[in-house]
Structure 1
Amino acid sequence: MLPWVNWYILIASLLLDLGSCCDYSESTCGARRPGDIVIGVLSPCHAKVETLDKRIQPERFNCTEFDLQSFVRTLAIIHTIDTINDSGFLPGIQLGYVICDTCSDASKAIQSAVHMLSINNTMSIQCDLIERPLVKAIIGARYSEVSIAVARLLGLNMVPQISTTSSVATLDDKIRFPSFLRTIPSDVHQTRALAQLMAHFEWNWVGVVSGDDDYGRVALQSFLKDAQDVHVCAAFHEVLPHYLGHSDSERRIQEVAEQIQSSKAQVVLLILKRELVEKLFEVMIRKGISRTWIASDSWSTSRRLATMKGINMIGDIFGLRFISGQNPGFKQFLKNLTPGPGAVNRFIEEYKDLRFGCSPEIQKHKDCLNSKPAAQCPLPGSLKLKSEFACKLPDPQKANDDFLTHAVDLSMAYSEKVATWSIAHALRALLKCNHSICSGERNLPPWKLLQELKKINFTLDKRQFFFDEYGNFASGYDLINWVRRRDGRYFEVIGEYNVMKSVVEISAASIEWGTPNKTIPESKCSESCPPGTSKKISMIYCCYNCSKCEEGTYTNVSN
């Protein structure tokens, strides 16, 4: 049996051999800009790989479903790199980048990571590990399952990896994932906060639906433990396939919808990615089922969900979000979207084709509108990004508008800004920079940058940032309420979870409940026991029967 390190070298070698027959400049890494020091970015600019379950031989990954939120997060990194370069924060140093698509798949992400480390033939898979790859640090991945896979590979060469969204507690293990860092807290805190939120509103009988990936499995077990500590019980917990193209997805979503409908639990926690929540909500809306929904961080501020048709019929929605903030100049950057001098960006090209390009499908829709009422010409899902100026512009690649500034919650891209500045601060220390020059060696080994990242402690936007012993930011969460309005929902902060104090603080008075009497909904296994009766606890703590007081005893209070 080969040592585990050699297994990863073998895998990387095979991937490089496969890459020799493919043009990865287009199929793997869609954006790049040269620089003195290059930062890698792993981002799911597409939500799925087509026919992943039918692969029987090595072949290109066919990625589909352009992911607008991930695209904007990636653009936030590019904008921050441009800001750092223009600011002179690293005198004489220009940061570059290479951005690769993970397509939300771990195998595709490993391929992309190997490609990053082998750009310009800098990675030689031999007995010795590579010491100085061109890419010195990698920001990503988005999903925990993907980050876990990539972290195993990057840990070989101690290439620092900073995720802005992967929260699974498994990644706290610095023996297994020595080069992994993140600008968010671990799920150890999130599941504790979710359980305390439920206990605050006395919801002790809740349903849980999670994905079958590493994030869903670990978060589910962590939540069940934390819920037990505050006397909250799970009425049921269901699992959905993480892979969007799974043959059982539609059937399982229907089964989960039936379980939610039949259960007494009026509160349901969804530990799922946004695409699965959307499919589940479509069924709920069609069936006319209303519940109180609790969102995990992966979909708690999804604009797409907040504006989906019928979202106001589905019940109250609460969730937790990571730190958010402003990114000055980013809105203007999005309104004038261009790859920039010396840069290539296939993702921007694809977005502009989707937004402004002409196609037979959009022409067919326009012809329908010219001859029939709008109600008879439903807009296909593939055209939801289309501008009213599509098919009217001579060159879609030169077109721009403010669509992105409204379609995505830009404050959620703040973590990308912080991650990029974290690398810049570590580089400033490592390269011995002053106000006029950086005298340190530019072709530095990534492990030296990793050591410096672990020591950073800087202030940005009047906030202090540093990594703890597990490589996490102890930054806490905002508690979000999805407030109804005519055309959907908007997000309102109604409280926070303080990681250091392990306490949920909620401004309940500001919540407008969607129940008929506008009061806090109940979600209990058993009704209250009136005076003259006492609780007879069943095997589950939250469930009991009401028994008449025994002869010679009496209680004049409930429960």
Structure 2
Amino acid sequence: MKCNLQGTTRLPASSEDGDIFIGGVFSIHPKLDTVIYNYTTKPEPPRCTGSLNARVLRFCRAMVFAIEEINNSTELLPGIKLGYQIFDSCVSVPVAVHVASQFLNGQDHIFYKDRNCSQSGMVMAVIGDSGSTPSISISHIFGSFNVPLVSPFATCACLSDKEQYPTFFRTIPSDQFQADALAKLVKHFGWTWIGAVRSDSDYGNYGMTSFLDAAQKEGICVEYSEAFFRTDPRSKIKQIADVIRRSTAKVIVAFAASGDMSVLLDELALDPPPPHQWIGSEGWITDPLLIRFSFCAGAIGVAIQKSVIPGLRDFLLDLSPSDVAASSVLTEFWEDAFNCSLKESKKLLLGFNLDKRVCDGTEDIKALVSPYTETSQLRATNMVYKAVYAVARAIHNAACEETNDTTQCDKHFKLETKQVFAELKKVNFSQNGYPVSFDVNGDPVAFYELINWQKSESGFTELVTVGYYDASLPKGQEFHINRNISWTDGGTQVPVSVCSESCPPGTRKVLQKGKPICCYDCIPCPEGEISNTTDSPDCFPCSDEFWPNAKRNTCSPKPVEFLSFDEVLAIILATFSGLGVTLAIITAVIFLRHRTSPIVKANNSELSFLLLFSLTLCFLCSLTFIGAPSEWLI
């Protein structure tokens, strides 16, 4: 009894036979052709449409380059040839899921009930996808079958959950690290009032959520937070552009994919807003196709570390006619790049593209200016390269043995995906000087470069590395800025973006009703109270010996007023006091001398002496009011 595989298999964009297969899923085209189902005939397989993304094509070719390097190596997997199948997911979850199922089914279209599954062409691991959303979907599928998925692009922090995505690994850092880096970057420059835009995808939504949580901890307020996607109606994109134009925040944090960002910037370019300081995520900050938007000059953001892959550029440029003709995506790239049609082109045979000339072999790819040939800013490309080598190392450790200083690999060894999965957890090596390892969550160590869009003397915008962020360093030491930053409009002064200016000493903050904590009014301190710090929430009274100054920002000692001995009034008072004391003493002496006389006795001598003593003290008491007062010593 035999069973036929239902459904239509998709053709790979690029493939090569081998002893062990590695799968690849990349979004080479930006969208999926819309299909209207009539439910009366079998629907055609979904087709990818839109302009081919030459940058993503470079990623695919980098995967092929790495596999060919490994196949030619005598140290890694000697005697075993790696094969590959690379598919285009068209930024579509259904297509990505279809491809994932096809990877698991292998290449057998007929299954016999009384035979074991041959597992012909079943992949041992998969590289991809180009985004977090499709990676989340296919990771659920691969996880059920212990197939490792190593993504060079999916940065969603949610993918670190090993209960949900047990076999997921990535060579690019998680968005949690990126969100923390962006929040600390905003705080570093004193921006407390920002706007936020994001891709309406798992990458943008999860990333922005992490950023907003980190920003709140840093005391940063958000004026608006808008989500959009490249396929949204233009009315929605225009609405978000108007929000940006009307906003009072001078700093905008954009957590978006480059394709989505291009749509938003195209809309803003129709009526450029006042200068804003753009803060970019790694998803778009290094895209060379976006630097054409001059109003974004001065943008700053984090990016994957720039790298060098020896031999890659020569490989990318070494496209023979047979190579191009053998691959549908290379054929499409060649025809689009040189505006000509190959003789073997299906479109030409069908009568399309009649306005294009026939490619005659004079096309020079070395002179072509394209994201495909751009190798001076290898960032995500190196993530693909490292992912392939990580899988190859895991397969090597599972299928090869070291004996007498030689490596023996058996291509007939029945390798299982769970073995590759187990070995992937333990890989730890360096490739071209770049470390490759995974923590318990399948994440690498987070290291970002700080990228600044600077205008050169020729007027062109360039991507300049001005520092780096290393999450492995102690808290507070992660950021290192080692070059001058060019700000909005090429200025050298750090832009200011606050909802309310800082309240100076002598005032207190009063929050504006219904607004974030960064928006407040500055109220002068009431009579008798001061505040001596910036942005003080309260005023407080001075101590008894002090009173507020005119600005009510400090307590000044109260001036001491007293009757000095050299003043006229003091001299007169002291004179009369001395005269009174003298007369009292003379009277007392006379009374004492004649104390036995009848007249003294008749006046009660004891009482008389008491009165004279009291008068003396009264005269002396007035002297205590003259001179500077002093504290009593107890």
**Smaller-chain TM-score bracket:** 0.7 to 0.9
2:228 is aligned with what amino acid?
L
- Name structure 2 gaps, 5 residues minimum: 342-352, 536-634
The alignment-based identity, stated in percent, is 29
Deviations 1:113-139 (A, max 9, x none): 22223332179699x998956211100
Q: What letter matches 1:79 in structure 2?
A: F
Partner of residue 35 from structure 1, selected from 15, 18, 28: 18
Distance between the aligned counterparts of 1:444 and 1:173, measured in 2? Answer: 27
TM-score (norm 1): 0.83
Q: Counterparts of 1:465 and 1:105 in 2: how far apart (Å)?
A: 29
Residues 401 and 437 of structure 1, relative CA distance in 2, 3 Å threshold: farther
Shift of residue 312 of structure 1? 2.0
String of CA shifts for 1:5-40, please: whole Å, max 9, x gaps. Answer: xxxxxxxx99x6221xx6x32xxx211000111110
Counterparts in 2 of 1:96 and 1:517: CA distance versus 1, 3 Å: closer
Which of 472, 475, 484 is the aligned partner of 1:500? 472
Within the candidate set 452, 456, 461, 2:423 is matched to 452
Mapped partners of 1:554, 1:508: distance in 2: 41
Contact 1:324–1:413 under 8 Å retained in 2:
no
Matched, 1:259 2:243: yes
Question: Where does 1:459-498 land on structure 2 (aligned, <5 Å)?
Answer: 459-485=430-456, 486=458, 488-498=460-470
In the alignment, is the contact (CA less than 8 A) between 1:141 and 1:163 conserved in 2?
yes
CA deviations over 1:396-434 (Å, ceiling 9, x no partner): 899664533238833431111111111111111111244
- 1:250-274 per-residue CA deviation (whole Å, 9 max, x = no partner) reads 1111011111111111111112221
Q: Tell me what 1:77 maps to.
A: 63
Q: Which amino acid aligns with 1:510?
A: N
Q: 1:168 aligns with which of 138, 156, 161?
A: 156
Deviates more, 1:478-487 or 1:497-506: 497-506
What is the aligned partner in structure 1 of residue 566 from structure 2? none
Tell me the alpha carbon deviations over residues 294-344 of structure 1, each in whole angstroms, 9 at most, x when there is no partner.
Answer: 1112112101112x2xx2233421111123311100111111124988994
Give the secondary structure class of the aligned counterpart of 1:258: helix
Partner of 2:270 in structure 1? Answer: 286
Q: Contact (CA 8 Å) 1:209, 1:238: kept in 2 or not?
A: yes
Say yes or no: does 1:17 pair with 2:2. Answer: no
Amino acid of the structure 2 residue aligned with 1:354: D
Q: Say yes or no: does 1:550 pair with 2:537.
A: no
Contact 2:306 2:377 in 1 (8 A): no
Q: Do the aligned partners of residues 339 and 417 (structure 1) sit closer, same or farther apart at CA in structure 2, a change above 3 Å counting?
A: farther
What is residue 99 of structure 1 aligned with on the other side? 86
| Bigger RCO (CA 8 Å, 6+ sep) | 1
Partner residue, 1:316: 298
- Aligned partner of residue 461 in structure 2, secondary structure: strand
Moved more, 173-182 or 312-321: 312-321
Q: Is the 8 A contact 2:80 2:411 kept in 1?
A: no
Give secondary structure in 1 for the equivalent of 2:302.
strand
Checking the alignment, whether the CA contact within 8 Å between 1:205 and 1:523 is kept in structure 2 is yes
TM-score under structure 2 length normalisation: 0.74
1:512 equivalent among 486, 489, 492: 486
Structure 1's unaligned 5+ residue stretches are: 1-12, 360-382, 384-389
* Residue in 2 that maps onto 1:540: 516
Q: 2:53 aligns with which of 67, 71, 79?
A: 67
SS in 1 for 2:488: coil
Which residue in 2 is equivalent to 1:412? 380
**Structure 1 segment 324-339 matched on structure 2, within 5 A:** 324-338=306-320
> Residues 200-248 of structure 1, C-alpha deviation per residue, up to 9 Å, x if partnerless?
011111111112222222112111111111111111101113xx334x2
Q: Which residue of 2 aligns with 1:379?
A: none
Matched, 1:188 2:171: no
Say if 1:194 and 1:125 are closer, same or farther in 2 by CA, change over 3 A: farther
- Within the alignment, does 1:134 sit opposite 2:122 as a pair? yes
SS of structure 2 residue aligned to 1:528: coil
Q: In the alignment, does 2:165 pair up with 1:177?
A: yes
Is 1:276 aligned to 2:260, yes or no?
yes
Whether contact under 8 Å (2:170, 2:444) holds in the other structure is: yes
1:234 paired with 2:222, answer yes
Q: Measure, in 1, the Cα distance between the counterparts of 2:434 and 2:259.
A: 33
On the 8 A contact 2:398/2:420 being kept in 1, the answer is yes
Q: Are residues 340 and 167 of structure 1, via their aligned partners in 2, closer, same or farther at CA, if it must alter by over 3 Å?
A: farther
Q: Distance in 2 between matches of 1:546 and 1:391?
A: 71
1:7 is matched with none
Q: Tell me the number of residue pairs that the alignment of Structure 1 and Structure 2 aligns.
A: 503
Compared CA separation, residues 517 and 33, structure 1 to 2 (3 A): closer
- Spell out the pairing of 1:296-375 with structure 2 (5 A cutoff): 296-306=281-291, 308=292, 311-338=293-320, 344-358=326-340
Relative to 1, partners in 2 of residues 1:334 and 1:342: Cα closer, same or farther, differing over 3 Å?
Answer: closer
Amino acid at match of 1:201: F
Mapped contact 1:159–1:446 kept (Cα < 8 A): yes
Q: Deviations over 1:355-409 (max 9, x none)?
A: 22426xxxxxxxxxxxxxxxxxxxxxxx9xxxxxx83742589966453323883
Q: 1:44-100: CA deviations, max 9, x gaps? A: 010111337x66765422212211111111111111111111122211111111000
Q: Following TM superposition, by how much is the alpha carbon of 1:293 offset from its aligned partner in structure 2, in angstroms?
A: 1.0
**1:183 Cα shift?**
0.5
Identify the range of structure 1 (85-94 vs 525-534) with the bigger mean alpha-carbon deviation.
525-534
- CA 1:411 to 1:245, structure 2 compared with 1: closer, same or farther past 3 Å? closer
TM-superposed CA distance for 1:557, in Å, is 5.7
Distance in 1, Cα, partners of 2:165 & 2:388:
20
Contact 2:146 2:417 in 1 (8 A): yes
Residue 5 of structure 1 corresponds to none
CA shift for structure 1 position 530:
3.2
Note if 1:423 corresponds to 2:391: yes
- Displacement after TM superposition at 1:492 (Å): 1.4
What CA distance in whole angstroms lies between the structure 2 residues aligned with 1:516 and 1:457?
43
Tell me whether 1:394 sits opposite 2:357 in the alignment. Answer: no
Amino acid at match of 1:171: L
Decide whether aligned partners of structure 1 residues 407 and 421 sit closer, same or farther in structure 2, where only a CA change above 3 A counts.
closer
In structure 2, what residue type is equivalent to 1:312? S
Q: Which amino acid aligns with 1:394?
A: D
Q: Can you list the C-alpha shifts for 1:467-493, whole angstroms capped at 9, x where unaligned?
A: 100011113211111112345422111
Task: Give 2:95's match in structure 1, choosing from 108, 115, 129.
Answer: 108
Instruction: State the distance in 2 between where 1:339 and 1:172 align.
Output: 43
Distance in 2 of aligned mates of 1:400 and 1:347: 19
Change (3 A) 1:201 1:491: same
Structure-1 residue corresponding to 2:580: none
Contact 2:196/2:253 (8 A) holds in 1: yes
Q: Please say if residues 16 and 85 of structure 2, whose CA atoms lie closer than 8 Å, have aligned partners that are also in contact.
A: yes
- CA positional deviation for 1:443: 3.7
* 1:465–1:526 Cα change, 3 Å: same
Change (3 A) 1:275 1:408: farther
Gap change, CA 1:119 and 1:408, over 3 Å in 2: farther
Q: Is the 8 A contact 1:33 1:343 kept in 2?
A: no
C-alpha separation between the residues in 1 aligned to 2:195 and 2:151?
Answer: 29
Give the C-alpha shift of residue 556 in structure 1. 5.8
Cα distance between partner residues in 2 of 1:316 and 1:473: 30
Corresponding position of 2:539? none
Partners of 2:408 and 2:107 in 1: CA distance = 27
Residues in 1 aligned to 2:453 and 2:37: alpha-carbon distance in whole angstroms: 40
